[in-house]
Structure formats: C-alpha cells, structure tokens
C-alpha cells in the first residue's frame, strides 16, 4: 500500500515548514529512515526521513514551497506498485492474456521480494527485524524544544545483551547536546534499528527490547539466506559487489577502518584466505554498502555517501574542502568532528609559517604574518540560513518590544586585580579552575540583583503584571564555533566565589564541546556577557526577551587615573579600570534604578572585600 510522507511537527510553536531540497526524486528507491528531503522552519533546518521502504512515486510539495504541519509532502509506493497501490503496468503486460492464474502467481512472487528486501536493506547488518508487535520500542526522545532529530554516536549495548531499567543504552548527539538514552524497560536487546552515525527523527524507533531471556533477532539471518539469490536476481544489486571489490583493495592500503563495509574489512585483516568469499558476501546486507558503493572511487563528500546539512554548513563556514577529509564515521561517513578537526589543522598550518620565517629575516617576516588572511567568502553571495534569519528577527523583535536603554559606569578594580594575582595559584589548586575576573563580576551582580529585584524581574504588558523570580538565574554568554550561546547558572545567588568560578568554567567548557543539555541553556533571568574577553572597552548589549536587563563587562586595562590619597590628596596613579554597561527595558526599570544597581556593583568591586572567599 502507498505510504504518505507528511510534514512533521518540528517544535511546539511551529505550524509550517518550507521544503528546501529533495534528496530523492520521483522514481528513486528509498529505504526506511533514509533521508528523503530537507525542511526549514523559523527555528530549525532538518532532514525528514522516509517512513517506509519503496519507490518515491510522487512529490506533492516542491522545493521552496511551504506546507502546514500534517500536510502531505510525497507518496511512497512499494516496488511494483503505483501511487494508487495497484500493480505497475509493465508487470501486467508481460503475462499477456495466456492465463490469468499463471500471471497472478509470478506477479505475487515479484511483489514479495519488493516488500522483503527493503526491510532487509533498512536493518543494520548485526540485527534482523524483530516480528511486529513483539518487544518494547526505544524511541528517539525530545532533546530540546527546537531539536527535531538526533544522531546515534555509540551503542553501549549490543543485540542479545541483557538490560536493566534506566541503564544507559546508547549515546545520541544533536546540534546542541550529546547525551545518553536509558532503557525504558528491563529485558533483552532484540534489534537495533538505527546503527551508529545514522540520524533519526524525534519519536522514531531506535531499537526493540524484548522480555528477559528472549531470543534476539540475530537467529533470523540464516533462514533469510533465501533473500541472497533473490537479491542476485535483481538487476541493481548485481554490479555492487564488482564496484566494491576494486575500492575494497584501495581502502585496505591506507587503513581497514576506512572501508565502506567494516565487517568485510575486519575479515580481510584477520583471515586472508577468506578474501574471495568476503568480497562476494557483502552484497547480502544491502543497506551498509549500498549508499557509498557508487561513489566509492572518489574521495571526500561523495566517497562518504550522504553528508548532513550540518556538516556541509560547518565546512562552508570554516572553508574546509569535504573532498580532502577522510570520514571517521561508519562506512567512512564524514562527521562534524572531522570538519572541526580539519579546520583546526588548517588554522595551525596557516600559523606555522610565521615563526618559521622569523629566523630568515628578523622583523620583516613578522609584519606580513600579522596580516589577517583573506576570507574565502569574499566576493560571494550565499543564502541566508534560516537559523541566522531567526536570530535576526528575534533581536529586532526584542528591540521593538522594549524601550531599551544603556547606562555605563567606570570601575576601579585594582584591589580585585591584586587579590587575583595573590590567590590565583592556591585558588586553582583548591578548586581546580583558573581564577578570572568574571566570577568577581558575577558575584557582585548577583548580590546587587538581590538588593534590587526589579532588575531581575520581567513584565507582561498585556496581562499588566510584573513577575519577580524566586532566585537569580544568571546567564553567561559563551562564544562557540556554532555562534553565541548562553548557558545558565540556576540559583546563582546560593553560590560563593568558588562555586561561581567552577560553574562558569564547567558550563563554558561543555557549551564549547557541545555537551550542554537543553535545560542548561534556558530559564535565565539576567545575563552577563564578557565583551572584554576580545578586547572591547564596552558595548550596548541587546536584552533578550523576556529578561529585562543584561550586563556587559569590558576589558580590564591599566591607565592613569586621578585618585584621592589620604595623605597626598589628588594624585595621578596607574589603576586597573573597567567599564560596566547595562542595557535594560526602560518601560520597567527607571534610569535611577539602573544607576543604583550599577553603583552597588561598582562599590562591591572597588571595596575588594573578597579575602575570606579567597582564603587570604
């Protein structure tokens, strides 16, 4: 029967999506969960997998067209069926009119492998499908409001293993977090539906867990050996072993891990006499070699098979040529980690000539090396990513919704700088993190929020209410490869200087390494952004709704300042100075309230009474 592909719900407030690219065309054969098309919304860009195996018989919504959630995007028919579910015309013409019963029998036989084989192709090599209705499915959970899919990075259990309730079963990676998925029930892992490095939509089945002691589905490949002659009878799979035999030899020379068929590569390294048999057998598990088999002669993106939009986007942003990368994923698939490593190596290679040129000519080579390298994007035009467009809209909306104003004060942090210099070594030994200026700013800001809760409040003009949170949830802006992200220190008012230092370091590290959870980047009531980390004196931050204020800390610099000495009077001295700039919603926070808040922060920092917390 034909299967309808519908627009999934890609977020709580998302009602429609735009088809940006069809990865398959009408008449193409598709597998279960194989990426079928790319869809863009105002929150995410994602892939839509095929809900069934068969042939893409009809595309309903074309590229750059918008469809509502739940509407039909395409129709997938079984092999030998039309979009209406009837047998295809060529099969009806072959029997002619010799005998109706004789014609029906070959037709039924032709339809059976068309249904069975895609199912076999969609399953991973290590597990055959479990009978429908048996066992409990493990589904891809919702890992954040805007997360619609996840990639299986590692299976912690294998088919046949016993599992306890809530025992970690697999690791899943999204564009925001890496996390473990626990088992929903106790029992035996019968089937793995999504292998490592494959992507699945939220709600999709990842595995099947049966009752304890149940026989895993691994015993079923032997009876299904009958599918091998059927696969050989099909015209398409026949050339695949020939195409793979040549690349298999090429791939063995660099490393066996780069082979597109990992079981075959292992067999070749462990038992050389069995090479001829191993080269012929990989045609049985069709799903593993099928995608990369055709482009295996090339390198990079084509050799690795399908490349996700995230990987392509990262490669474009970092100027990385996908054809120059050897993927570390299953079957040589290129992952985002491969792109980031290649970008880091490219940066290191660009920086290397500068020190090498210094011995040849003392100061002369240093000047050209200091010049910024021209970007590869110069003179080009690219389509605005939907995520960037969404950020732009939200920033503009925030400015339009609020009457934002910025107030700046200058703070003498000389005492803090001296305390930091005295205590940084012992502080790192005691707490395991470096002592920067940011925890001092955070502690002073949180204490001022407790004294002036209006700065920590939010306003609903339509409802006519002001909400004062029960705690101070401090957002910390972090610069990452994916852009600016704001993890949150929940209950920051309950932490001392050491606690804030450890939480800031921990959140920043896990945010940059994409190990932060969705709950840790939501719920901020006040945000702190350290614009001085890149040398800026100060800026005018844009307050993110529904917060009412945001504090920016500039660079700490030494400069001559007029100070009032008790003995000498007014003298000029070198002091460590910093600008603090707070933007706020002037509809809720008056200028006097903002000034009182900033003065409280200023006085706390200039007093420098942190000896007790630093153990001095």
Among all residues, which ones are annotated catalytic? 586, 590
∠ Cα 228 229 234 (to 5°):
100
Q: Distance between CA 120 and CA 224 in Å, rounded?
A: 9
Name the strand (E) or helix (H) holding 559: strand 557-565
Q: Are 583 and 541 in contact (CB under 8 A)?
A: yes
Q: At what angle do helices 438-451 and 591-607 cross, to 10 degrees?
A: 130
Strand-by-strand arrangement of the 45-49 sheet: 45-49, 35-40, 16-22, 66-68
Please count the CA atoms within 13 angstroms of the CA of 205 that sit on its side-chain side: 19
Closest C-alpha among 555, 394, 550, 391 to residue 474:
550
Q: Distance between CA 19 and CA 63 in Å, rounded?
A: 5
Q: Distance between CA 215 and CA 101 in Å, rounded?
A: 40
Closest C-alpha among 581, 577, 609, 571 to residue 411:
577
Q: At what angle do helices 497-512 and 438-451 cross, to 10 degrees?
A: 120
In this structure, the strands spanning 526-529 and 474-476 are parallel
In this structure, the strands spanning 16-22 and 35-40 are antiparallel
Closest C-alpha among 403, 553, 401 to residue 477:
553
Q: Are 499 and 446 in contact (CB under 8 A)?
A: no
CB neighbourhood size of 270 (10 A) = 10
Closest C-alpha among 384, 327, 533, 524 to residue 445:
524
Residue partners of 285: CB distance under 8 A and separation at least 6: 120, 124, 125, 263
Please count the CA atoms within 13 angstroms of the CA of 132 that sit on its side-chain side: 1
The two three-digit tokens of residue 288, written as one number: 């593993």
Please list the residues that pair with 149 across neighbouring strands. Answer: 201
The two three-digit tokens of residue 309, written as one number: 């939009």
């Amino acid at each position: 029967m034909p299967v309808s592909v519908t627009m999934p719900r890609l977020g709580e407030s998302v009602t429609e999506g735009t088809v940006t690219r069809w990865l398959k065309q009408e008449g193409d054969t598709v597998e279960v969960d194989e990426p079928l098309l790319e869809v863009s919304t105002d929150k995410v860009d994602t892939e839509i997998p095929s809900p069934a195996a068969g042939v893409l018989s009809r595309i309903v919504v074309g590229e750059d067209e918008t469809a509502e959630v739940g509407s039909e995007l395409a129709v997938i028919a079984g092999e030998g069926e039309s979009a209406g579910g009837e047998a295809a015309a060529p099969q009806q013409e072959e029997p002619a009119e010799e005998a109706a019963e004789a014609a029906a029998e070959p037709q039924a036989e032709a339809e059976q492998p068309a249904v069975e084989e895609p199912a076999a192709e969609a399953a991973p090599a290590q597990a055959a499908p479990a009978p429908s209705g048996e066992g409990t499915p493990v589904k891809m959970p919702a890992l954040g409001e805007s997360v619609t899919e996840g990639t299986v990075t590692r299976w912690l259990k294998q088919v046949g293993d016993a599992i306890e309730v809530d025992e970690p079963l697999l690791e899943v990676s999204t564009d925001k977090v890496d996390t473990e998925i626990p088992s929903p029930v106790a029992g035996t892992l019968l089937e793995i539906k999504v292998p490592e490095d494959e992507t699945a939509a939220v709600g999709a089945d990842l595995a099947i867990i049966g009752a304890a002691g149940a026989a895993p589905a691994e015993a079923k490949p032997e009876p299904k050996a009958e599918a091998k002659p059927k696969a050989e009878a099909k015209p398409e799979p026949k050339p695949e072993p020939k195409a793979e035999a040549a690349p298999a030899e090429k791939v063995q020379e660099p490393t066996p891990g780069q082979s597109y068929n990992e079981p075959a590569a292992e067999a070749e390294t462990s038992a050389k006499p069995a090479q001829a048999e191993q080269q012929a057998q990989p045609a049985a598990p069709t799903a593993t070699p099928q995608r990369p088999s055709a482009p295996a002669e090339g390198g990079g993106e084509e050799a690795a098979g399908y490349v996700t939009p995230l990987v392509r986007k990262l490669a474009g942003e970092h100027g990385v040529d996908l054809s120059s990368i050897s993927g570390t994923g299953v079957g040589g698939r290129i992952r985002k980690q491969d792109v980031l490593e290649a970008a880091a190596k490219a940066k290191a290679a660009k920086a290397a000539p500068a020190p090498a040129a210094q011995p040849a000519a003392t100061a002369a080579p240093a000047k050209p090396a200091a010049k910024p390298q021209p970007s590869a994007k110069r003179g080009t035009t690219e389509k605005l990513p939907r995520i960037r467009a969404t950020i732009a809209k939200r920033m503009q909306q925030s400015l339009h919704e609020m009457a934002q104003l910025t107030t700046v004060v200058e703070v003498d942090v000389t005492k803090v700088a001296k305390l930091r210099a005295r205590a940084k070594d012992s502080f790192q030994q005691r707490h395991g993190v470096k002592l920067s200026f940011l925890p001092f700013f955070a502690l002073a800001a949180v204490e001022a929020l407790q004294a002036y809760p209006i700065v920590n409040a939010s306003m609903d003009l339509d409802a006519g209410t002001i909400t004062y949170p029960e705690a101070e949830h401090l957002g910390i802006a972090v610069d990452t490869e994916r852009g600016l992200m704001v993890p949150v220190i929940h209950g920051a008012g309950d932490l001392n200087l050491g606690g804030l230092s450890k939480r800031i370091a921990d959140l920043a590290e896990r945010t940059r390494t994409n190990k932060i959870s969705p709950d840790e980047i939501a719920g901020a009531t006040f945000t702190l952004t350290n614009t001085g980390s890149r040398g800026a004196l100060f800026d005018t931050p844009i307050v993110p709704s529904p917060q009412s204020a945001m504090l920016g800390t500039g660079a700490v610099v030494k400069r001559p300042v007029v100070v009032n000495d008790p003995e000498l009077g007014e003298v000029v001295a070198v002091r460590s100075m910093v600008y603090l700039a707070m933007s706020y919603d002037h509809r809720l926070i008056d200028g006097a309230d903002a000034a009182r808040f900033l003065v409280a922060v200023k006085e706390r920092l200039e007093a420098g009474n942190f000896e007790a917390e630093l153990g001095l």
